[in-house]
Chains A and B, each alone.
Chain A
Amino acid sequence: MIYSKIKTATAMAVALVVLSPAALALDGAELYKTKTCSTCHGKDGKSPILPSYPKVAGQNEAYTLQQMKDIKSGTRANGGSAAMKGVMHLVSDEEIAALAKFISTMQP
């Protein structure tokens, strides 16, 4: 019992040490602003600058993740993606994942 508690505490401590720098660095809400997502898609993720740009708030995490990856790599080049490709070099794979997660939690 005690052993198990210690084990849990140790595991938690290890997890904190390992995860916290990454977790701190990858604040999806902050990234959404600093990586200029909000400039085009709106602060709330549902007031894009052009009607031909998508609302993104509440979009499925897996879908957003894939679109960001594909626009960054150039696999997806249709529609307005040329506009977004211009900034995607600013975003790492880890940041893309954090953004996709955050965007999925935005109120649609």
Chain B
Amino acid sequence: MNRKHILTMMTAVLGLTVSATSLAWLEAGGQRDEALHLKPDHENGIEVYEVCAGCHLTEGWGTKDGTFPQLAGQHKEVLVKQLADIREGNRDNPTMYPFALPESIGGAQALMDVVTYTAKLPMNPDNGKGEWETGSSEFEQGKKLYADNCTECHDKNGEGIAEKFYPKIQGQHYNYMMRQFEWIRDGKRRNANPDMVKQIKGFSDKDMQMVINYVSRIPVPKEDLAPSKDWLNPDYD
């Protein structure tokens, strides 16, 4: 009787945990869905992005050391999901939190304006990379890990899948990806996709370094890149 009771409780707790995880990845409704149905306003996008530029820079390139990720060229669906998740307390990011609030950015319309603007910015041709050169043994091992584990969602060259909210990871800074990967693997990133958590559970730290080293070195298509690493966003002076 007692044991049965405990078992029922354990099942219930387990069920709760599982559903909480799935919900945390892609809860229906909220400002993400609302925003994506709106028509973006370019000028307002520029205005709203100014506050983001305080950390992610006016070019949207973040910092090479990975403190701040590159946002330029990211799918607007991914940007709006992450913004809404941080705003709604679904992804912990104390540094960014105040900037995701409606008081700082505005409502769903402003979200759509700013993510559409950011998604169209040309990407940084000089992103932060891992230590292993293209062609090295670690690079090749990372490439294999990528092919075996990552392409279904992040696509062949780290393009991601916009309509499924899977991020573009090509051109992203190595240290930023390392931090997020580790948090996803170890359960610290609450809005992680549960399929990814499962997929990378067995990754050692070395596997993680090798696969991310590879991703950081996937060439970004030329048409998505800024003409040089000294390019300055002309929308700001």
B94/A83 in contact, CB under 8 A? yes
Chain A hits for B101, CB < 8 A? 50
Q: How many chain B residues touch the partner (CB < 8 A)?
A: 12
Contact of B94 among A38, A49, A86 (CB under 8 A): A86
Whether B187 sits at the interface, judged by CB under 8 Å, is no
Supposing A49-B104, A89-B67 touch, asked if A83 and B98 sit within 8 A by C-beta, the answer is yes
CA distance A87 to B94 in the complex (A): 11
Of B54, B55, B67, most A-chain CB atoms within 10 Å: B54
CA distance A36 to B95 in the complex (A): 11
B54/A36 in contact, CB under 8 A? yes
Q: Which residue of B lies closest to A84 (CB)?
A: B95
B95/A83 in contact, CB under 8 A? yes
- Output the least CB separation between B57 and chain A (Å): 10
Q: Would you call the interface of chain A mostly helix, strand, loop, or mixed? A: helix
Whether A40 sits at the interface, judged by CB under 8 Å, is yes
Chain B 92-124 per-residue mask, 1 if CB under 8 angstroms from chain A, else 0 = 001101110100100000000000000000000
**A-B contacts besides A40-B98, A89-B67, 8 pairs, CB < 8 Å:** A38-B54, A49-B51, A49-B98, A80-B94, A83-B95, A85-B94, A86-B95, A90-B65
List 7 A-B pairs, minimum CB-CB distance, nearest first.
A39-B54, A86-B95, A82-B94, A83-B94, A50-B98, A49-B98, A83-B95
Q: List 30 A-B contacts (CB under 8 A).
A: A36-B55, A38-B54, A39-B51, A39-B54, A39-B55, A39-B99, A49-B51, A49-B98, A49-B99, A49-B104, A50-B98, A50-B101, A80-B94, A82-B94, A82-B95, A83-B94, A83-B95, A83-B97, A83-B98, A84-B95, A85-B94, A86-B67, A86-B94, A86-B95, A87-B55, A87-B67, A87-B95, A89-B67, A90-B65, A90-B67
